Structure 1
Amino acid sequence: MERIGLIDIGSNTIRLVIFEFDTKTGLNELLNIKTPARLSQYLTDDLTMNDEGINVLTKTLSSFKKVAKKFKVNELHPVATAAIRQSKNSEEIIAFIKKHLDVEMTIIPETEEAFYGFYAITHTTDIQDGISIDIGGGSTEVTLFKNKSLIEAHSFPFGVVTLKKKFFEGKNHNDKNAIKAMEKYIAKQFDQLPWLKKQHVSLVGIGGSARNVARIHQSEHSYPIGGVHNYKMSEENIDEVYSIIKKSSRDELKDIDGLSRDRVDIILPAVSVFRTLFNKINATQFTFSRKGLREGYVMKLISERYPKEFRKDNIRKDALYHLANEYGIEEESAEQRVKLAHSLLSQLIDFKAIDVTKAEQRLFAEGAFLYYLGSFIDSDSSSPHTYYIIANSMIDGFSHEERVKLALLASFKNKSLLKYFSNETKWLHGKAFDNIQYLGGIIKFVNALNISHTSSVDKVNLTEEDGQYTLYIYYSGEPISEEYQAQRQKKHIEKILKSDLSIIFTKS
């Protein structure tokens, strides 16, 4: 187990994130604190950081160093981006920090800053082709990737703080002329890169500005589940947020749910950048990735030490493995559940008793693996705990709809509870709902076949003769509890077959 502290010294905020990594539970965030330092405002006209800015930086790093020490981090990585990178006196700043705090500060080059954002996206989402954008306080990084491989990367010398300073100094945040001039400038900047034009891929936003846009939209629509990672928005959704911000007074902005108070005066430039780029690339959708520069930096660091970690072609499987370990799911029992579930489902499909898509089959296996994960908290309330944990957890590689379906499958107890949970989102209807019920029932039944966690059942074989169905269960050992539970839960299979089912336990 390792604890890594990362201090992200941005142009707008300075943030300390403490990560804990373990090969069994993956990378987890223990602490995330920030201060809106706005270092870019301390750059003079000749791009020298003044003494006031250096003092703000020193004071913040000193405080964060003490916090990191209390959390017993194994290593601390203070990394600086645009504000320090653009400073003519950056070397003097690094030397000053080293002398007074004994802290080695690293400046991340523009191309590396863009790369780490791309790395985080392609290792935590299922997006194959896209353009990423990370708007900081003093710079904006964009990348183009295809099949999760980096094709192009560029850093623009503007961010939300510098745009505000350039166009809104002494003006209201929604001044029409300032907005018009700013958006003309942004469009001209993007026109410099021919590879941005008409890509027709996902636009993936990372960083605090994108997070606030996603949260505002979720709040406006009373979004039913937690988390913004992998949250998707259309062009109309972005325009809606843009309109809300434009028509709101400064005081009204402070009351908008989802908008951080320290971003009230810089959120409009951010949304303008997103809208302009969305139109420029003819994007299919806007997706927010909660994992960005910081996560990408730490993930790359860890992957160099543990080459088997963070495989971009194995995101979902790794995420489920880590989640299962975090909640004490016994891997052997989970694999047994998946094996029996796969076998029984394929036989039901052969009998044309059920018709499910490949995507549903994949979620079915994943739900079987995580079944009743919530028993870690309280075995008597396993189902509701399982649903709420999975539905509201940030699980890499899953869309929000997939996450809810996974939660419904892994928590399945009966139809009435399924309806209750499903009603929270109202995303499932008709056949989609019926299939979740049938698949959840299969999982519950095969869970009964290993209720003692001894893996005594070797295989199952479904037969039909003259309209009568029989399920032969071949076992080794003594499946006393399994025999009893199988009889109790066979009703779930009978619903699928629309017929009675006889169960015969046979020694292998």
Structure 2
Amino acid sequence: MHNTQRIGIIDIGSNSIRLVVYGRSENGAFQVIDESKYTARLSELVDSDHRIDILQLQPMVDKLNHFKRICDIHYVDTIRIAATAAIRNASNRDEIISYLNSMTGLQIDVLSGEQEAYYGFIGMANSLNVTDGFLIDIGGGSSEISLFRHRKIVKSISFPFGCVNTSKTYGQSDPLSDSDMRRIQDMVRQAMLEEPWLAEAPGLPMIGLGGAVRTIAKIEQLRTKYPLNRIHHYQMEDESVSQMLQKLRALPLSKRKNVPGLSKDRADIICPGIVILQTLFQHCGCSHYIMSASGIRDGLFYEMIQPDAPLVPDVLEYSLHNLIALHLSSLPQEHTRQVDRLGGLLFAGLREYKGLPEEDARYLHIASLLYRIGTNIDYYGYNQHTFYMIMHARLYGITHRELVLSAIIASYTTKSRARQMAVEYKEILDEHDYSRIYKLGSLLQLAIALDKSETQSIEEIDVQVKKNSLRIQALQHRGITFEEMEVQGAAKEFHKAWDLTPVLTS
């Protein structure tokens, strides 16, 4: 048995059906504990009368019952099932839902286009620190696009075309011909002309959801040998997407299936999907692409656990709190909070002297709260475990560069080791980041030294830069003998980065 709440989310899309199982602890912390996918291609089953023959749904019934068994294995308490465009637009929708219910016992909700856009937005907005933009979700049978401002949807529309049904109607040439590509572009443009607001907010980023968008990111990352295996928050320019489309269009399906990053079950529909995406992007006058790995299933989950306020107020802080609750709840959190507080005071004292940028305080804040997360694996060598866990955690609200910076700072031991770690990510970091890592990493070590006893004995400090030293005066404390020795131990690495020797006095 288990002592956590288990929630299953099943998304019946037009191309694929996906299950995600979440575990939620008593302290509110949650994580994905299982997932499964089935390529259903429901949009291909729609006939000329917009019907889906019930007799063709047996494979889907088998898979839904399989998903039910997975949920049973995990002792899932609640299952939420949502169907999107293929079933929503079917003329015999009620018959399909009744049949699936009778064969599986599952209660299926059919989402409207507006609801589909909303849940996709919640999933994205709770995982990306983007306040304004266009959100596009290209599915198998529909494409939802929303304009959002200040993290609120202003307008949204669901277009009845996606990767699968567009490929079925216009993408039968192999490779995709110029004439078929123009037909797809004309279809999309004609639909967009009915929604003039789409062209009234140029210069915003386009946030992409769905399998087509994730595939584009995978292909590009493998092509460029991108050092980070992370699609969420990956950014691309329009030129790169255009070049990818031309290269994929030049390949017949048999060769397209061998493109690294492109799964064989998506190779036949990827080109129409990119044409839809690029046509929407250019019509809206967007600045660049940002890829989101969080979408409708995440949005459904957030609504289930916090129905009154599914949109979190601060993406980064919410994500940090969840990680801490998941992995650090067994450790005294008073210590990491003290390190975070003292680190902030040290940073404030040094900022005026060194002219430090404001965003550096955020990296130090993240690293201070998470620097011990690696002890979950083992205390010995926990610094390297900390780096690994931060790099692979669902830490949201920061860019790839900020993630790398935070992970190296949190796991900092020496300047030379930090440089070795940073070199691997030189394509992501800029030339000033090396110095930033040394400074903030050694600053974190100094903050740790100020509470090495883990008793929070120092209540207040005054920080002054005098000649070649950093004078730290403990204004209120319950004894600092232990911390004085630890500060001496951290002084060497701190001096390498700052050309200052820290001294703790009372």
- TM-score category (smaller protein): over 0.9
CA contact (8 A) 2:54 2:96 kept: no
Q: How far apart, CA to CA, are the structure 2 residues paired with 1:498 and 1:333?
A: 28
- Partner residue, 1:373: 373
- Partner residue, 1:181: 183
CA contact (8 A) 2:232 2:293 kept: yes
Residue 406 of structure 1: how far off its partner (Å): 1.0
Alignment of 1:61-460 (within 5 A): 61-169=64-172, 171-199=173-201, 200-304=203-307, 307=309, 311-328=311-328, 330-350=332-352, 352=353, 354-426=354-426, 427-460=428-461
- Structure 2 residues not aligned, in runs of 5+: none
Q: How far apart, CA to CA, are the structure 2 residues paired with 1:47 and 1:22?
A: 44
Q: Which amino acid aligns with 1:472?
A: Q
Q: Which amino acid aligns with 1:458?
A: E
Residue 201 of structure 1: how far off its partner (Å): 0.8
Q: How far apart, CA to CA, are the structure 2 residues paired with 1:501 and 1:390?
A: 29
Per mean C-alpha deviation after superposition, the further-off stretch among 334-343 and 198-207 is 198-207
Residue 462 of structure 1: how far off its partner (Å): 3.3
Residue 11 of structure 1: how far off its partner (Å): 1.1
Residue 118 of structure 1: how far off its partner (Å): 1.4
Q: How far apart, CA to CA, are the structure 2 residues paired with 1:42 and 1:214?
A: 28
> What secondary structure, in the 3-state scheme, does the structure 2 residue paired with 1:218 have?
helix
Q: Residues 138 and 414 from structure 1, CA distance in 2 versus in 1: closer, same or farther, beyond 3 angstroms?
A: same
Q: Which amino acid aligns with 1:345?
A: F
Deviation track 1:121-161 (CA, whole Å, cap 9, x = no partner) reads 22221111111111111111111111111111111111111
Q: Which amino acid aligns with 2:269?
A: I
> What secondary structure, in the 3-state scheme, does the structure 2 residue paired with 1:124 have?
coil
CA contact (8 A) 1:8 1:16 kept: yes
Residue 501 of structure 1: how far off its partner (Å): 4.2
Q: Residues 431 and 15 from structure 1, CA distance in 2 versus in 1: closer, same or farther, beyond 3 angstroms?
A: closer
Per mean C-alpha deviation after superposition, the further-off stretch among 84-93 and 258-267 is 84-93
Tell me the TM-score normalized by structure 1.
0.93
Q: Which amino acid aligns with 1:122?
A: A
User: Identity of aligned pairs, percent?
Assistant: 27
Deviation track 1:367-413 (CA, whole Å, cap 9, x = no partner) reads 21212421221222222222222223331111111111111211111
CA contact (8 A) 2:13 2:83 kept: yes
> What secondary structure, in the 3-state scheme, does the structure 1 residue paired with 2:381 have?
helix
Q: How far apart, CA to CA, are the structure 2 residues paired with 1:270 and 1:60?
A: 26
Q: How far apart, CA to CA, are the structure 1 residues paired with 2:256 and 2:409?
A: 40
CA contact (8 A) 1:40 1:83 kept: yes
Deviation track 1:249-302 (CA, whole Å, cap 9, x = no partner) reads 322222222112210100001111111111111111111111111111111222
Per mean C-alpha deviation after superposition, the further-off stretch among 119-128 and 486-495 is 486-495
Q: How far apart, CA to CA, are the structure 1 residues paired with 2:461 and 2:387?
A: 28
Q: Residues 259 and 482 from structure 1, CA distance in 2 versus in 1: closer, same or farther, beyond 3 angstroms?
A: same
Deviation track 1:333-379 (CA, whole Å, cap 9, x = no partner) reads 111001111111212234x1x22111112222222121242122122
Q: Residues 502 and 406 from structure 1, CA distance in 2 versus in 1: closer, same or farther, beyond 3 angstroms?
A: closer
Q: How many residues align?
A: 499
> What secondary structure, in the 3-state scheme, does the structure 2 residue paired with 1:172 have?
coil
CA contact (8 A) 2:488 2:502 kept: no
Tell me the TM-score normalized by structure 2.
0.93
Residue 327 of structure 1: how far off its partner (Å): 2.3
Residue 434 of structure 1: how far off its partner (Å): 1.1
CA contact (8 A) 2:54 2:99 kept: no
> What secondary structure, in the 3-state scheme, does the structure 2 residue paired with 1:44 have?
coil
Residue 497 of structure 1: how far off its partner (Å): 5.2
Residue 94 of structure 1: how far off its partner (Å): 1.8
Q: How far apart, CA to CA, are the structure 1 residues paired with 2:176 and 2:459?
A: 68
Q: Which amino acid aligns with 1:48?
A: R
CA contact (8 A) 2:5 2:25 kept: yes
Q: Which amino acid aligns with 1:192?
A: E
Per mean C-alpha deviation after superposition, the further-off stretch among 78-87 and 322-331 is 322-331
Q: How far apart, CA to CA, are the structure 1 residues paired with 2:243 and 2:344?
A: 44
Residue 206 of structure 1: how far off its partner (Å): 0.5
Deviation track 1:13-58 (CA, whole Å, cap 9, x = no partner) reads 1111112234746432111211111112222211111133332332
Q: Residues 77 and 286 from structure 1, CA distance in 2 versus in 1: closer, same or farther, beyond 3 angstroms?
A: same
RMSD over equivalenced CA pairs, Å: 2.0
Residue 86 of structure 1: how far off its partner (Å): 1.4
> What secondary structure, in the 3-state scheme, does the structure 1 residue paired with 2:455 have?
coil
Residue 244 of structure 1: how far off its partner (Å): 2.5
Deviation track 1:456-489 (CA, whole Å, cap 9, x = no partner) reads 2223333466766543335644555433222110
CA contact (8 A) 2:163 2:270 kept: yes
Deviation track 1:206-242 (CA, whole Å, cap 9, x = no partner) reads 1111111111111111111121111111111211221
CA contact (8 A) 1:24 1:321 kept: no
Per mean C-alpha deviation after superposition, the further-off stretch among 475-484 and 433-442 is 475-484
Q: How far apart, CA to CA, are the structure 2 residues paired with 1:320 and 1:467?
A: 36
Q: How far apart, CA to CA, are the structure 2 residues paired with 1:496 and 1:345?
A: 14
Q: Which amino acid aligns with 2:379?
A: S
Q: How far apart, CA to CA, are the structure 1 residues paired with 2:118 and 2:470?
A: 57
CA contact (8 A) 2:122 2:311 kept: no
Residue 326 of structure 1: how far off its partner (Å): 2.3
Q: How far apart, CA to CA, are the structure 2 residues paired with 1:360 and 1:176?
A: 49
- Structure 1 residues not aligned, in runs of 5+: none
Per mean C-alpha deviation after superposition, the further-off stretch among 247-256 and 102-111 is 247-256
Q: Which amino acid aligns with 2:48?
A: D
Q: How far apart, CA to CA, are the structure 1 residues paired with 2:197 and 2:149?
A: 12
Q: Residues 462 and 491 from structure 1, CA distance in 2 versus in 1: closer, same or farther, beyond 3 angstroms?
A: farther
CA contact (8 A) 2:175 2:250 kept: no
